Amino acid sequence: MSGPLDGIRVLDLGTRLAAPFCAGQLGEMGAEVIKIEQPDGGDMMRTIGPFVTNGDGDHATEYSLYWSVEGRGRKSVTLDLRRPEAQAILRTLGASSDVLVENFRPGTLERWNLGPDDLDPKLVIVRISVFGQDGPYRERPGLDRLGIAYGGLLTLTGYPDEPPVRPGLSISDYLTGLFAAQAATAALYERDARGGRGQVVDAPLYGSILRINEWTLAAYDQLGTVRSRNGNRMENSAPINNYSTADGAVICIVAGADANFRRLCAAMDRPDLLRDPRFATNARRAEHADDIDAEVAGWARSLPAAEVERRCLEAGVPVAPILDAAGIFADPHIAAREDLVIVDDPVLGPVRQQAPFPRLSNQPHVAPSGAPRLGEHTRSVLGELCDLSEDELDRLAVSGII
């Protein structure tokens, strides 16, 4: 893909999600991404479902749709980085690259002689972990769930009388990948503008969650308030909720601001609510959230979702249907904006997936290349960038280094 990062080369040493997603975001802005994978199986994302059966009979294989989405837009090179000769090859690749992204447990790259001091000083090195590169917890293992737990999000999700509920997606993986990609871009700018040296981006999973904690920590510092779960409501604003409709759908209405509440009352044909002292201001409505929610919920249950949406939109109330995958595929706005693209997967062929995001006005709106087969680009990349001959590549393959 062309884009503002054309000419930037990224080495993706990551596994699972956060680091590969960071590299993928850079790739969708135009960088060349070379994914380094273990020869014996590659990235674990290749083994996580849901799967599509590819082929027939004894030759049928299970192919991961997770990998098809999150492995796209990069080349695959196999290198066993536990082997000194592979480590030397990676150092050579690093000399012609700009960014290296990894999410091994802290200290792993140093044990492989691939730490920042061993690599080309111009490299921007993105290091993603659960707890960071220093501190007493640095070597603890973990995945996305620990990031949202330790960073303070898990305690806020769900209902107050029930245990916390994880969000439906791997939020700390994706958020950390995004923050890290933004930081890598800033580090590249600083490198090229001020002296040519790279730096390390230290991006723990819990840190991205900590950063989006809104007023939670300030309120504890100043008021001693420990924020807790409120289901679909907000502590300081009402009515904001997901409301069931007469036809069994659920629709999201956001009318906490006083102006939006007045509009909602007009949509509901309930001017009497405006005269009720319990609902006179946003703060008062938040105090009486049960009461105002009951009024809105009763109205929504009396109408089909399309009619609730129509009346809200006519009155200027923020409203949206709650879409599942089928709804996303059928939605006219998503179609008009081309938010789904067809990716040419090398195993499955055309697959509709989410488009790169966000889009830039000077960047063509095109689909990424499909997720590569394991080691698909090993010979071409190592031949070109490391000047290895076919005989040398044959020897490395026989020895299991590639």
Give the residue numbers marked as catalytic.
173
Q: Closest by alpha carbon to 114, among 130, 131, 141, 95?
A: 95
CB 265 within 8 A of CB 311: no
CA 402, CA 387: separation in Å to the nearest integer? 15
CA 168, CA 90: separation in Å to the nearest integer? 36
Q: What are phi and psi of 161, to 5 degrees?
A: -100, 15
CB 74 within 8 A of CB 27: yes
Class of residue 326 by CB neighbours under 10 A (exposed 0-12, middle 13-18, buried 19+): exposed
Q: Closest by alpha carbon to 267, among 221, 226, 319, 224?
A: 319
CA 11 to chain CA centroid, Å, is 19
CB 232 within 8 A of CB 167: no
Write the CB contacts of 379 (distance below 8 Å, at least 6 apart in sequence).
390, 393
